Amino acid sequence: MTVDPSSTSPGPLAAARPTAGVLVKTDQAATSASLPDGVSIQPRRFEFDRLGEVPQYWFAGNPIITHVENAFSILIPPGERFFIQAVRNYEGRADSAEDKAMIRAFAQQEGLHTRAHNEFNASLARFGIDIEREEACAKRAIDRLQRWLPKKVQLGATAFLEHLTATGAHSLFHDPEVVELMDPEMRRFWQWHAAEELEHKAVAFDLFRQVGGGYGLRVLSAISAIVLLAVPFSMIAHRLQKQDPNPITGEMREQARAINRKLMGLQIRMLADYFRPSFHPWDYNDEPFLRDWYESTAGA
Ligand SMILES: [Fe+2]
Ligand SMILES: [Fe+2]
């Protein structure tokens, strides 16, 4: 199945053009005939411009939705270190020098995401969040994946979690009016991460197949990742809500539900699609989203 986002997206990113943060290309882009025309895996460093001024409720001014996204951000650094290791375990068995270059660019991108999310997560301490406790909880959850799962299942789990992040990235670009609700610095930050997730979304999946990962193991790995990560993610999000002394109004709950409905409908369909035997990440043609983002950040 091929989904062309240009047929459903309300338009280019012009309305959501970022106004903060700086992007620095750090290394050569990896290119491949397996990527759509004009798309490469380009590592970029994100430099926050005014992180200290990002408001506490940076997403729509809404505490509920902000805490959920912050919980996701707290899981990202240990999660991405896990992805890098899972892929590196099999790097030597990649089919070609081109595939190896894509794996290196993937690892560089994830390393730079980790660096930026660590910086953002540390900044949450100024809102009274016990960030060290939450980071330790996230690390324990990811350590369990590494300890309990065989290496090929770790790679399969990475392929699935990469689809999960690509799904979030796809919906972010698909609904620019939702992204408009973010503080500009955070919008710029999440769009950068989302774009790079789309660029490298098939790297772990393709490697998993190259090393003999079949459909059954792909499904088992995905279910293992869901079972092992759903609880710690919910616990962190719940604790962030509980630690927040500010009251939650009915209006905030309704707004959070509306944003969730908008983002989750598409994401659930895309996640379910992963369990189709013939699924491949590039069945979703994200090239128009990437082209718009490249144009909106040109010269940044
Ligand atoms: Fe990432
Ligand atoms: Fe990724």
> Could you tell me the distance, in angstroms and rounded to a whole number, from the CA of residue 1 to the centre of ligand 1?
25
Is 262 within a domain? yes
The C-alpha torsion from 69 through 75 and 80 to 82, rounded to 10°, is -150
DSSP E strands: which ranges in the chain? 22-25, 44-47
Gap from CA of 253 to ligand 2 centroid (Å): 30
CA of 248 to the centre of ligand 2 (A): 33
- Give the pLDDT band (50/70/90) at residue 299: low
- Ligand 1 centroid to residue 249 C-alpha, Å: 33
For ligand 2, the distance from its centroid to the CA atom of residue 245, given in whole angstroms, is: 34
Give the number of whichever ligand sits closest to the CA of residue 198.
Answer: 2
* Torsion, CA 66, CA 116, CA 75, CA 291, rounded to 10: 80
CA 158 / ligand 2 centre spacing (Å): 9
262 C-alpha to center of ligand 1: Å?
23
pLDDT score at 1 = 37
59 found inside a domain: yes
122, 131 Cβ separation under 8 angstroms: yes
Query: Which residues are near ligand 1, the ion (C-beta closer than 5 Å)?
Result: 110, 113
Domain that holds residue 184: 45-277
Grade residue 263 by pLDDT with cuts at 50, 70 and 90: confident
Domain count, the chain: 1
Tell me the pLDDT tens digit for each residue of 153-176: 999 999 999 999 999 999 999 999
Encode pLDDT of 89-135 as tens digits.
999 999 899 999 999 999 999 999 999 999 999 999 999 999 999 99
113 Cβ contact partners less than 8 Å away, ≥ 6 residues apart:
76, 80, 193, 196
Q: Which residues pair with 47 in a beta bridge?
A: 22
Q: How far is the CA of 298 from the centre of ligand 2 (A)?
A: 22
197 C-alpha to ligand 2 centroid (Å) = 5
Q: Which ligand is nearest the CA of 201, by number?
A: 2
> 152 pLDDT exceeds 90?
yes
Predicted local distance difference test score (pLDDT) of residue 14 = 37
Spacing, Cα 183 to ligand 2 middle (Å): 23
User: What's the CA-to-centroid distance between 76 and ligand 2, angstroms?
Assistant: 10
Residue 228 lies in a domain: yes
| Residues 198 and 287: beta-carbon distance below 8 Å | no
Rounded to whole angstroms, the Cα distance separating 25 from 277 reads 36
pLDDT in tens, 184-223: 999 999 999 999 999 999 999 999 999 999 999 999 999 9
Examine residue 24 and state whether it is found in any structural domain, yes or no. Answer: no
Q: Is residue 33 part of a domain?
A: no
Question: What is the Å distance from ligand 2's center to 262 Cα?
Answer: 23
In a domain, residue 140? The reply is yes
- Helix pair angle (97-123, 184-199), 10° resolution: 160
pLDDT digits (tens, 9 = 90+) for 216-262: 999 999 999 999 999 999 999 999 999 999 999 999 999 999 999 88
Dist. CA 249 → ligand 2 center (Å): 35
Would residue 13 count as lying in a domain?
A: no
Give SS3 for 41: strand
- Establish if 300 belongs to a structural domain: no
CATH number at residue 156: 1.20.1260
